[in-house]
């Protein structure tokens, strides 16, 4: 199988390194409009051709699968062309910037019988895999809330706001871990630049069952926080991604509600117990993702981070954007 990668910036470099190391695959070409990236490619992967034109890859008959790591506003056109040219497509997150585009691409991929996958790398980390197995086993109980903070002094993106930049990670993890379908979204945000692009934003996602998800995103924090709390009625999980090894802690903490008939008030029984810090798989998530892309093509199976996941992330981001522009009004999904 021949692979082409379009976009050889910061993330593209990681993709090149991982696809170059993959078995059963040849990284044939890499495209980046900045001609000066040619020498970087030569030292990283001398066997791959460099081109300044994405079209060279999109129209290359020998290329079976295309990885697209360019700014999000280019995703739709490139992916469409690639699919029309009978290539499998891996899109970086977020998939596209509009739900309609996502839907159209998914239908096109179905018609063409090609794999259209979205790279939500986090789903392949040892930490998320561990949380998935903990939740699926029933150990955590019924999940009551999900609260994620992803803030640091980050690069202000010129074309997308902080939600489209940072929240795809957390929303894709949420959707992967929680099966319930969200009901509505509320979001607020503020821009401290004169281009109106939000650098701080908050999202609430509401569910019929009373489960609630909250996201806090910022490019303007002096400290780097990557923290997720997931509370079940049996146990609770803390995922602290800035910890080098002890990223997941499972707290045997909870409360039980009892009805006090006479006094007609809620009695809450608290419980705090042991903490369990599981060992995590330390394989590089991007390598596992790249392997999933290739093996899903070969075996004709659905990848873990599939295009439904990509679509759902776009749907929630789009609704959040609408809510922000309407001063936090609830947007039913």
Return the range that interacts with a copy of itself (CB under 8 A); candidates 79-87, 99-107, 218-226, 307-315: 218-226
Q: Answer yes or no whether residue 327 interacts with a copy of itself by CB under 8 A.
A: yes
Nearest to 89 by CA among 70, 109, 71, 104: 109
Q: Answer yes or no whether residue 302 interacts with a copy of itself by CB under 8 A.
A: no
Q: Answer yes or no whether residue 139 interacts with a copy of itself by CB under 8 A.
A: no
Q: Report the SS3 class of residue 283.
A: coil
Q: Answer yes or no whether residue 266 interacts with a copy of itself by CB under 8 A.
A: yes
Nearer to a copy of itself, 1 or 44 (CB): 44
Here the tokens at position 265 are 């008030």
Considering only residues 22, 278, 284, 287, which one is a binding residue for a copy of itself as defined by CB under 8 A? Answer: 278
Q: Answer yes or no whether residue 134 interacts with a copy of itself by CB under 8 A.
A: no
Nearest to 57 by CA among 108, 11, 16, 100: 16
Residue 41 beta carbon to a copy of itself: minimum distance, rounded to whole angstroms: 13
Q: Answer yes or no whether residue 137 interacts with a copy of itself by CB under 8 A.
A: no
* Beta strands 143-153 and 220-232, pairing class: antiparallel
Cis peptide before 94 (omega within 30 of 0): yes
Considering only residues 84, 246, 322, 325, which one is a binding residue for a copy of itself as defined by CB under 8 A? Answer: 246
Return the range that interacts with a copy of itself (CB under 8 A); candidates 63-71, 77-85, 88-96, 145-153: 145-153
Residue 254 beta carbon to a copy of itself: minimum distance, rounded to whole angstroms: 9
Per-residue buried b or exposed e for 262-300, using 16+ beta carbons within 10 Å of the residue's own CB? eeeeeeeeeeeeeeeeeebeeeebbbbbbbbbbebbeee
Here the tokens at position 323 are 């809510």
Cβ-based neighbours of 16, under 8 Å, separated by 6 or more: 5, 8, 27, 30, 41, 44, 45, 48
Nearer to a copy of itself, 178 or 229 (CB): 229
Q: Report the SS3 class of residue 121.
A: helix
Nearest to 277 by CA among 321, 308, 245, 309: 245
Whole-number Å distance between alpha carbons of 43 and 20: 12
Considering only residues 82, 116, 135, 200, which one is a binding residue for a copy of itself as defined by CB under 8 A? Answer: 200
Based on the number of CB atoms within 10 Å of its own CB, is 138 exposed (0-12), middle (13-18) or buried (19 or more)? exposed
Question: What does the DSSP 8-state code read for residue 321?
Answer: H
Considering only residues 49, 139, 252, 284, which one is a binding residue for a copy of itself as defined by CB under 8 A? Answer: 252
Considering only residues 179, 194, 261, 262, which one is a binding residue for a copy of itself as defined by CB under 8 A? Answer: 194
Nearer to a copy of itself, 1 or 212 (CB): 212
Nearer to a copy of itself, 113 or 194 (CB): 194
Q: Answer yes or no whether residue 259 interacts with a copy of itself by CB under 8 A.
A: yes
Cα dihedral 234→235→236→237 (10° resolution) = -130
Q: Answer yes or no whether residue 135 interacts with a copy of itself by CB under 8 A.
A: no
Q: Answer yes or no whether residue 244 interacts with a copy of itself by CB under 8 A.
A: yes
Q: Answer yes or no whether residue 275 interacts with a copy of itself by CB under 8 A.
A: yes
Whole-number Å distance between alpha carbons of 168 and 148: 12
Q: Answer yes or no whether residue 311 interacts with a copy of itself by CB under 8 A.
A: no
Considering only residues 220, 234, 241, 284, which one is a binding residue for a copy of itself as defined by CB under 8 A? Answer: 220
- Residue 205 phi/psi, 5-degree rounding, is -115, 125
Interface contacts to a copy of itself, rule CB under 8 A? 46, 144-145, 147, 149, 151, 153, 155-156, 158, 184, 186, 188, 190-195, 197, 200, 202, 204, 206, 210, 212, 214, 216, 218, 220-223, 229, 231, 236, 238, 242, 244, 246, 249, 251-253, 255, 257, 259, 265-266, 268, 270, 272-279, 327-330
């Amino acid at each position: 199988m021949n692979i082409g990668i379009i976009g050889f910036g910061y993330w593209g470099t990681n993709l090149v390194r991982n696809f170059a190391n993959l078995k059963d695959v040849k990284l044939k070409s890499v495209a980046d409009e900045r001609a000066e990236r040619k020498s970087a490619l030569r030292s990283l992967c001398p066997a791959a051709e460099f081109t300044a034109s994405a079209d060279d890859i999109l129209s290359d008959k020998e290329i079976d699968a295309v990885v697209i790591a360019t700014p999000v506003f280019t995703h739709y056109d490139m992916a469409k062309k690639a699919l029309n040219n009978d290539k499998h497509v891996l899109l970086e997150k977020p998939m596209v910037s509009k739900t309609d585009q996502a839907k159209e691409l998914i239908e096109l991929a179905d018609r063409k019988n090609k794999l259209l996958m979205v790279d939500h790398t986090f789903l392949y980390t040892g930490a998320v895999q561990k949380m998935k197995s903990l939740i699926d086993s029933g150990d955590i109980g019924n999940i009551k809330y999900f609260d994620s903070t992803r803030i640091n002094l980050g690069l202000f993106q010129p074309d997308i706001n902080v939600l489209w930049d940072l929240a795809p990670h957390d929303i894709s993890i949420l959707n992967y871990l929680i099966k319930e379908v969200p009901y509505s979204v509320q979001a607020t945000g503020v821009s401290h630049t004169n281009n109106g692009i939000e650098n701080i934003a908050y999202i609430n996602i509401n569910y019929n069952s009373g489960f609630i998800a909250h996201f806090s995103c910022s490019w303007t924090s002096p400290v780097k926080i990557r923290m997720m709390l997931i509370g079940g009625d049996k146990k609770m999980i803390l995922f602290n991604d800035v910890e080098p090894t002890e990223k997941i802690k499972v707290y045997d903490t909870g409360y039980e509600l009892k009805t006090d008939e006479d006094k007609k008030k809620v009695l809450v029984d608290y419980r705090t117990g042991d903490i369990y810090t599981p060992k995590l798989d330390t394989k590089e998530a991007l390598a596992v993702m790249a392997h999933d892309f290739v093996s899903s093509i070969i075996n004709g199976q659905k990848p873990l981070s599939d295009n439904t996941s990509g679509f759902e992330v776009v749907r929630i981001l789009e609704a959040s954007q609408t809510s922000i522009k309407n001063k936090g009004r609830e947007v039913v999904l």
